[in-house]
Structure 1
Amino acid sequence: MLKGCSVIALPLLLSACSWSWFGLNSSSSPRAAAAPAGSLSVAPAREFAYMPALDGRVSPNRIENTAMTGVVLKSEVRDAVRESVANHLKVAGFHLDDKRKVLSGRIEKFSVDDVRSPALWTLQMRYVVTDASTHQVVFSTTKTVKRKSPKFTSNTIAIEDTVKLSVDALVQDAGFIKAVN
């Protein structure tokens, strides 16, 4: 019986290993080959308004959570989001030393629903690119992303991964690319 299982299992295992050679591996992405070009600067954290805190629903260092009172961070949510946005833009190939165009944002919603597993993280972010010399808004959009993660994961990792999804959506927006070029 063991021999019969190995006859069936071996070809399946070998074919599964070969899928990554044909680009079917989920970790590879078609846009990884061509990094977008653009330059801008990212505004300080004070320019990333955390609306749930400004509305009085939560404290500035708390992410809304359906299962308990909230996810409490050591720093303010706007600081964590701003740093994560800047880091992911840099990884995506943007130059962050150009003071002519400035990216700021408004965190309209950041929550986690972890009543059940997996937890569902939601980030609704308004991005605004401003021409620094004229103070005119040259681009504005809202990106909403949802991400599932294990219920008992690191909050830092979950926040980073959720912001990364939002930045990925931003850099795929042709209007954003045009605004920063």
Structure 2
Amino acid sequence: MLKGCGAVALPLMLSACSWSWFGLNSPPRAAVHPTGWLSVAPARDFAYVPASSGRVSPNRIENTAMTGIVLKNDINEAVRNGIVSRLQIAGFHLTEGKKILSGSIEDFTVDDARSPAFWTLKMRYVVTDATTRKVVFSTTKTVRQKSPKFTSNTIAIEDTVKLSVDALIGDPGFVKSVN
């Protein structure tokens, strides 16, 4: 008898998963980000401070487990491109030249002596009015990204930059400065 009930009850329970009036199977709402208008400065305007001070080469991220992670391109270029990508995905209009986003990469390290690895990015963001050349907004955001020890460096860098830009987008002062 239980077998017979199971044969009837199972299809009914599975069909209940599609009942939209329960609200259990409704699509997730997209995250709403504030948007604005700005231009992003070229990579040369995103100074990589550890390289400027001579601590590392321009294409190297400090690593606790070895001498460093070396990229084909310079760190400032990778970070700048990640910022542009994330701002576009978030809905910012990057063709307007009245406000310019630049900054400096104050610290970018990875601690992968143990698993998981922790990527840390300390980024100073600056928004400048293009006509007056005055700084209208400035902030420093520090983020820490946990990733598997043997992950792709490119993916870990992109994820870390994404977190940093998300912290910037969440700052009401930044949103106000680009609107």
Q: Corresponding residue for 1:140?
A: 138
Deviation (angstroms), 1:91: 0.3
Note the residue ranges of structure 1 that are not aligned, 5 or more in a row. Answer: 1-13
Q: Corresponding residue for 1:68?
A: 66
Aligned partners of 2:32 and 2:41: how far apart in 1? 26
Aligned partners of 1:21 and 1:91: how far apart in 2? 28
Instruction: Report the RMSD for the aligned CA atoms in angstroms.
Output: 2.1
Q: Which has the larger Rg?
A: 2
Deviations along 1:62-95, one digit per CA (max 9) or x if unpaired, are 0000000000000000000000000000001100
Identity %: 69
Q: Corresponding residue for 2:75?
A: 77
Aligned partners of 2:86 and 2:46: how far apart in 1? 16
Deviation (angstroms), 1:33: 3.6
Give aligned pairs, total.
Answer: 161
Q: Corresponding residue for 1:165?
A: 163
Q: Corresponding residue for 1:111?
A: 109
Deviation (angstroms), 1:157: 0.1
Q: Corresponding residue for 1:47?
A: 45
Q: Which amino acid aligns with 1:120?
A: F
Note the residue ranges of structure 2 that are not aligned, 5 or more in a row. Answer: 1-13, 18-22
Deviation (angstroms), 1:105: 1.0
Aligned partners of 1:22 and 1:54: how far apart in 2? 52
* Stretches of 4+ aligned residues off by more than 3 angstroms: 20-23
Q: Corresponding residue for 1:151?
A: 149
